[in-house]
């Protein structure tokens, strides 16, 4: 996280002081590297220590107020150094996770770390014993993590590491975020979307609002522009699109938004946790790239059908979550294997093996 913060800081500083296109490109590359580092490390750390939520409200407010000024783009890009500096300093000050301390044989420090995280009055002996057993089992396995993760007993976790980030992107969220200025240009501001997007929820709220929103927007566009999409949309229907946009943001914010980052980071045994998180992030960014490159062409050819495309995916992922994703809330990381052993489908893969 320190390395990611430093890289992000450098990218923000270069973009803020850019005097040519080459500097902008270099800054964006460094920002991308910083995001890659932190997206790999931060969810793992939070899953082992404490969950946290961040919204996009602050950035939307800044972009709204700075959009009127000729130098606003420079400040908007350069202000990336502020969260980067906070993250770098914070990462340098926070303690190691109990799991990493146990891996290095520092059991006393691991116990103290657990006490700080759980509270002075918490009984951490049982959790520490579970960590010691998990780390011992991980060290006893000589196979490489990328080989181990392909074993049959880890099939449920691997499927989720691929399916969940893929499904997150085919909700259409990054397309909506990237295009939200076009959606709200005549009827509102980015601030509205940012405020609505900041919320939280449970695994069983994964999809409903997102599905309703995609179907409703398609219906509004058909009503307002005709099936050919050539007519101008009325002011009333434009306002309806804005309301649906906010509803969609709320649905995503309490479902696929936070949980699609959290779940892949907590379901893997310690031996392959980092590998699993890496696979999850690779799928996430690859899907984002593919969808962002194809959306405009899809919108031009399919018009309202583009929203039906995403609605179809949301219906599919809703069924997938209901059938194949067990609830992980309240389950300690080192007891996570039990949820797969009790699942109606996944137990056939893991029930005859010992938890890794």
The DSSP annotation for 122-134 comes to ---HHHHHHHHHH
> How many CB atoms neighbour CB 129 within 10 A?
11
**pLDDT in single tens digits along all 356 residues of the chain:** 677 778 878 888 888 788 888 888 888 888 878 777 776 666 655 555 543 334 444 555 555 555 555 666 566 666 667 777 777 777 777 777 787 788 788 888 888 887 777 777 777 777 788 778 777 776 666 678 888 899 899 999 999 999 999 999 998 887 776 665 555 554 444 444 444 444 333 444 444 555 555 555 555 555 544 444 445 666 676 667 667 776 777 777 777 877 787 788 888 887 888 888 889 989 988 998 898 888 888 878 887 788 788 888 988 998 999 999 998 877 777 778 888 989 999 999 986 544 44
CA distance 237 to 185: 14
Q: What is the pTM of this model?
A: 0.66
CA distance 291 to 147: 30
CA distance 258 to 272: 22
CA distance 97 to 128: 12
Where are the strands (E) in the chain, listed by range?
none
**Helix 173-184 vs helix 273-302: angle between axes, to the nearest 10 degrees?**
40
Dihedral of the alpha carbons of 160, 166, 169, 171, in degrees to the nearest 10 = -70
Q: What are phi and psi of 181, to 5 degrees?
A: -60, -40
CA distance 163 to 187: 35
> How many CB atoms neighbour CB 86 within 10 A?
12
Write the burial class of residue 8 (CB in 10 Å: 0-12 exposed, 13-18 middle, 19+ buried).
buried
CA distance 112 to 98: 9
List the structure tokens of 282: 């690779």
CA distance 254 to 198: 8
List the structure tokens of 122: 């918490």
CA distance 350 to 339: 10
**End-to-end C-alpha distance for the chain, whole angstroms:** 27
The predicted structure's pLDDT at residue 52: 34
**Which of 122, 170, 160 has the alpha carbon at shortest distance from 315?**
170
Contact 56, 105 (CB under 8 A): no
The predicted structure's pLDDT at residue 117: 74
The predicted structure's pLDDT at residue 211: 53
Contact 17, 96 (CB under 8 A): no
Q: What are phi and psi of 91, to 5 degrees?
A: -65, -30
Contact 26, 112 (CB under 8 A): no
Q: 325 vs 206, 262, 320, 344, CA distance in Å?
A: 11, 13, 7, 11
List the structure tokens of 351: 């029930």
CA distance 202 to 258: 9
The predicted structure's pLDDT at residue 205: 44
């Amino acid at each position: 996280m320190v390395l990611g913060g430093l890289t992000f800081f450098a990218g923000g500083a270069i973009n803020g002081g850019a005097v040519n296109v080459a500097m902008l490109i270099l800054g964006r590359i460094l920002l991308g590297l910083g995001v890659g580092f932190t997206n790999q490390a931060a969810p793992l750390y939070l899953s082992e220590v404490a969950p946290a939520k961040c919204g996009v409200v602050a950035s939307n407010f800044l972009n709204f107020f700075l959009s009127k000024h000729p130098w606003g783009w420079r400040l908007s890009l350069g202000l990336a150094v502020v969260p980067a500096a906070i993250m770098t300093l914070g990462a340098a000050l926070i303690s190691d996770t109990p799991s990493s301390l146990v891996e290095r044989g520092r059991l006393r420090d691991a116990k103290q770390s657990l006490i700080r995280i759980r509270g002075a009055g918490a009984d951490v002996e049982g959790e520490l014993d579970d960590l010691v057993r998990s780390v011992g089992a991980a060290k006893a396995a000589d196979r490489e993590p990328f080989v181990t993760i392909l074993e049959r007993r880890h099939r449920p976790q691997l499927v989720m590491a691929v399916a969940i980030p893929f499904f997150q992107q085919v909700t259409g969220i990054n397309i909506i975020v990237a295009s939200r200025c076009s959606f709200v240009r005549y009827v509102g501001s980015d601030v509205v979307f940012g405020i609505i997007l900041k919320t939280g929820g449970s695994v069983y709220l994964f999809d409903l609002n997102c599905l309703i929103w995609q179907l409703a927007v398609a219906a509004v566009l058909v009503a307002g522009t005709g099936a050919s999409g050539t007519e101008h949309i009325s002011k009333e229907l434009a306002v309806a699109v804005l309301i649906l946009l906010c509803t969609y943001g709320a649905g995503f914010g309490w479902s696929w938004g936070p949980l699609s980052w959290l779940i892949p980071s907590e379901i893997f045994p310690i031996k392959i946790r980092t590998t699993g998180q890496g696979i999850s992030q690779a799928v996430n960014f690859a899907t984002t790239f593919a969808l962002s490159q194809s959306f405009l062409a899809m919108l031009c050819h399919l018009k309202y059908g583009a929203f039906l495309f995403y609605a179809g995916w949301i219906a599919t992922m809703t069924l997938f979550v209901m059938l194949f994703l067990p609830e992980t809330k309240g389950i300690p990381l080192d007891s996570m294997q039990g949820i797969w052993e009790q699942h109606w489908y996944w137990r056939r893969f893991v029930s005859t093996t010992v938890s890794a």
